[in-house]
Amino acid sequence: MLVSHLDMSSRCPILSFVDIKWKLGVAMSSDTCRSLKYPYVTVTLKVADPSGQITDKSFEMTVPQFKNFFRQFKEMAAVLETV
C-alpha cells in the first residue's frame, strides 16, 4: 500500500533534529547481580515537534549497538554530501 506524503505527515508529525548527546557508562551492580561491569551508551536526542516544542528522547545501547548506530550516521552523512 502506498501512502502519500500528505497522508503520512497528518498521521505522524515530523520531528526536527536539534541536538544529540551521548555518554558512556558502566553498570557496576544491580539488585539481582553483585558485579556487572557492563559498559553501555546512553544517547539523548533533542527534537522539536512542528509547533517548536523541544523534547528529549533518551535510550541506552550496548557498545556494539552504538558502533553500528554511529556507522549508520556516517553512511547517512556520506549520502547527504552527494545531494
Closest by Cα among 39, 41, 38 to 66: 41
Q: What is the pLDDT of residues 56-68, one digit of tens each?
A: 999 999 999 999 9
Q: What is the DSSP letter of 8?
A: H
Segments of the chain with pLDDT less than 70: 1-13, 30, 33-35
Q: How far is CA 17 from CA 23, 29, 44, 52, in A?
A: 18, 34, 11, 11
- pTM for this entry: 0.66
Amino acid letter at 15? L
Cβ neighbour number for residue 23 with a 10 Å cutoff: 9
Q: How far apart are CA 39 and CA 8, in angstroms?
A: 38
